[in-house]
C-alpha cells in the first residue's frame, strides 16, 4: 500500500513528500478499469487518460502494472512535450527499497540497453536522411506512372494488364514500407509532420487508415508475439502458433480446422486473402465505427484516383477486379515479409521480460543485401527496428553490430538468416505447431 511518509517538525511550508508504492501494489492495478504504470520510477494512474492516448488505449494498457520506461522511450520522439501530458497523471513513485524493474526483470540488461540507446543518440542514428525518403517516394510515383503509361501505350490486353498489375503491386508494397516509416515517426523531427505525411501515404497512396494502422501496429511493437496483446498473433482460430497454444487447443479437443494441415492451407487462405479480404474489411469498418472521417476522406481520394485512372481501360467492374488482383499480389509480398521475422520465433502468453530480451525473443533478422533491404523495406533488420522503432531504417545496419555485441555479452541469441531460409521457416513453424496440436489432440 502507498506510504505517504511522515513530515517531521519544522517541515511546515515544505512541499509534501511524494507518496511511495511497492511493486506488489502497483501490479494489482492492471485491469481495464484500473491502470497504473511506472516510468523512470514515477508511478502514473492512466485509467481515465488512456482512452485519449494518441497511440491507442490498448497499447498503453498492455503495460499496466509494469515498468514502461523503455517502451516510453522507444515510441516517443519529443519526450519533453509528452511529459507535459504526464504531470497530471503522476500519483507517486517507487519506494526507495524497490528495484526499478518489476517481476525480477534483468536490471543489468536494461542498464546496458539504455547505454546502447545513448550511444545511438550520440552517433546521430535517430537523424534521418530526407533525400532517402524523397527518392523512395519518387520511385513509388514513377511506378504508378509507368503502370498507367503501359496501358495507355500498349492497350488493355492480358499481357499489359498483368505487367501493370505487378508494377502496381510493387508500388503498393513499397508504399506500405514508406508509410511504416512515417507511422513510426522516423522521418521528421516533429511528430506532427510525420503524422501528416503518414495520412497522405497510407490514405491517398494505399486507401488505408492511419489510425487503424497505429492502433494495431503499436500493440505489436509493445508486446510482440504475446497472445492477447499482439494482434498479429490473433489468428481467430484459423492457425495455431508457437508451442503452448497448439498443445492447449489439442488438450481441449478444439478443432476449428485441421491444424496438422495448416502449413498446407496457409498457401490458400494466408497470403492470398489477408489484405484483399481481412484487412480491407477491418479498415473500412474501423473508419466508420470509430468515425475516423479524416482517414476515410484520404481513403476515398485513393479510390477516386484509382477508378478515374483505370475505368477508361476496364470499365467499373473490370477496375474493381483489377484492384483486387493488385491487392492479391501485394498480400503475398506483405505476408511473407512480415511473417519471416516473427512466426518462427517464440509465441506465448505474457512472459514479463525486460524490453531488450522480449524483442530479441520475438524477432529475427534476414541477411543484408541491396535487394533484401529494398524487398523488405529494411525489415530484414527487424531486431534493430523493434529495439529502436523511431530510428530511420537507413541507419539500422549501423547499430546492428552493437546490438549483436550486447546479445553476446548477455548470452542472448541473435538470429540472422538467409532470405530463403527465413521464408521456409514460416512453413516449418506452422508444420511444427500443427503436429504439436495433433499429438495433444490424439494422446492427451
Which is more confidently placed, 394 or 7? 394
C-alpha cell of residue 214: 497505429
**Which cell numbers hold the place of 176?**
506500405
Model confidence at 280: pLDDT above 90: yes
383-400: average pLDDT: 98
For residue 12, pLDDT beyond 50: no
The DSSP 8-state label assigned to residue 276 in this structure reads I
**Per-residue CA distances from 277 to 32, 285, 325 (Å):** 31, 12, 12
- 223 vs 8: which has the higher pLDDT: 223
Task: Supply the pLDDT for residue 6.
Answer: 40
252: pLDDT strictly greater than 70: yes
Sorting pLDDT into bands at 50, 70 and 90, what band is 15? low
Distance of CA 264 to the CA centre of its chain: 26
For the stretch 40-84, pLDDT in tens is: 999 999 999 999 998 889 999 999 999 999 999 999 988 888 998
At residue 209, the pLDDT reads 97
Per-residue pLDDT at 167 exceeds 70: yes
pLDDT band at 324 (very low <50, low <70, confident <90, very high): very high
**pLDDT tens profile 227-242:** 999 999 999 999 999 9
Average pLDDT over the chain, rounded to whole? Answer: 95
Mean pLDDT across 415-438: 98
- How far separated are the first and last CA of the chain, in Å rounded? 44
What values do phi and psi take at 32, rounded to 5?
A: -65, -30
Cα separation, 94 vs 3, whole angstroms: 10
In this model, does residue 7 exceed pLDDT 60? no
- Cell 514515477 -> residue: 42
Cα distance between residue 47 and residue 57, in whole Å: 9
User: Span 255-263, mean pLDDT?
Assistant: 97
43 CA to centre of own chain: 26
DSSP annotation of 56 reads -
pTM over 0.85: yes
What is the chain's percent helix, strand, coil content, to nearest 5? 60, 5, 30
Percentage of the chain lying above the pLDDT 90 cut: 93
> Which residue has cell 515479409?
337
Give the residue-averaged pLDDT of 380-393: 98
Band (16; pLDDT cuts 50, 70, 90): confident
Q: How confident is the model at residue 8 (pLDDT cuts 50, 70, 90)?
A: very low
Report the 10 Å Cβ neighbour count for 346: 17
Alpha-carbon gap, residue 141 to 307, rounded angstroms: 17
Instruction: Specify the pLDDT at position 14.
Output: 52
Question: What's the pLDDT at 11?
Answer: 42
Angle at 179 between CA 69 and CA 212, to 5 degrees: 70
CA 177 – CA 187 distance, rounded (Å): 13
For the stretch 75-109, pLDDT in tens is 998 888 899 889 999 999 999 999 999 998 999 99
Amino acid at each position: 500500500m502507498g506510504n505517504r511518509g511522515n513530515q517531521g517538525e519544522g517541515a511546515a511550508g515544505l512541499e509534501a513528500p511524494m507518496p511511495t508504492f511497492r511493486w506488489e501494489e502497483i501490479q494489482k492495478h492492471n485491469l481495464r478499469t484500473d491502470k497504473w504504470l511506472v516510468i523512470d520510477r514515477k508511478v502514473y494512474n492512466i485509467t481515465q487518460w488512456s482512452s485519449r492516448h494518441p497511440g491507442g488505449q490498448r497499447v498503453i494498457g498492455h503495460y499496466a502494472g509494469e515498468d514502461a520506461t523503455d517502451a516510453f522511450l522507444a515510441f516517443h520522439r519529443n519526450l519533453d512535450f509528452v511529459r507535459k501530458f504526464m504531470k497530471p497523471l503522476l500519483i507517486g513513485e517507487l519506494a526507495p527499497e524497490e528495484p526499478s524493474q518489476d517481476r525480477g526483470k534483468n536490471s543489468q540488461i536494461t542498464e546496458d540497453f539504455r547505454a546502447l540507446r545513448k550511444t545511438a543518440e550520440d552517433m546521430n542514428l535517430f537523424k534521418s536522411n530526407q533525400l532517402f525518403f524523397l527518392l523512395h517516394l519518387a520511385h513509388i510515383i514513377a511506378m504508378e506512372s509507368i503502370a498507367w503509361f503501359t496501358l495507355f501505350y500498349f492497350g488493355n490486353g492480358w499481357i499489359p494488364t498483368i505487367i501493370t498489375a505487378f508494377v502496381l503491386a510493387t508500388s503498393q508494397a513499397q508504399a506500405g514500407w514508406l508509410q511504416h516509416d512515417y507511422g513510426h515517426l522516423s522521418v521528421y523531427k516533429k511528430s506532427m509532420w510525420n503524422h501528416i505525411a503518414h495520412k497522405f501515404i497510407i490514405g491517398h497512396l494505399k486507401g488505408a487508415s492511419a489510425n487503424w494502422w497505429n492502433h494495431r501496429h503499436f500493440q505489436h511493437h509493445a508486446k510482440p508475439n504475446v497472445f492477447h496483446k499482439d494482434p498479429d498473433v490473433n489468428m481467430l482460430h484459423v492457425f495455431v502458433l508457437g508451442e503452448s497454444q497448439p498443445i492447449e487447443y489439442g488438450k481441449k479437443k478444439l478443432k476449428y480446422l485441421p491444424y496438422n494441415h495448416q502449413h498446407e492451407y496457409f498457401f490458400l487462405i494466408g497470403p492470398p486473402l489477408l489484405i484483399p479480404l481481412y484487412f480491407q474489411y477491418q479498415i473500412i469498418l474501423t473508419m466508420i465505427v470509430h468515425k475516423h472521417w479524416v482517414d476515410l476522406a484520404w481513403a476515398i481520394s485513393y479510390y477516386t484516383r484509382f477508378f478515374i485512372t483505370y475505368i477508361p481501360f476496364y470499365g467499373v467492374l473490370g477496375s474493381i477486379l483489377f484492384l483486387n488482383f493488385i491487392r492479391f499480389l501485394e498480400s503475398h509480398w506483405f505476408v511473407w515479409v512480415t511473417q519471416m521475422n516473427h512466426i518462427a520465433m517464440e509465441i506465448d502468453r505474457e512472459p514479463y521480460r525486460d524490453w531488450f530480451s522480449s524483442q530479441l525473443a520475438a524477432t529475427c533478422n534476414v541477411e543484408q543485401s541491396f535487394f533484401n533491404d529494398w524487398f523488405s523495406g529494411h525489415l530484414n533488420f527487424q531486431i534493430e527496428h523493434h529495439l529502436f522503432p523511431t530510428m530511420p531504417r537507413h541507419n539500422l545496419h549501423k547499430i546492428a553490430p552493437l546490438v549483436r555485441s550486447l546479445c553476446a555479452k548477455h548470452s542472448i541469441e541473435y538470429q540472422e538468416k538467409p532470405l530463403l531460409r527465413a521464408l521456409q521457416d514460416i512453413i516449418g513453424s506452422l508444420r511444427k505447431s500443427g503436429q504439436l496440436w495433433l499429438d495433444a489432440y490424439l494422446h492427451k
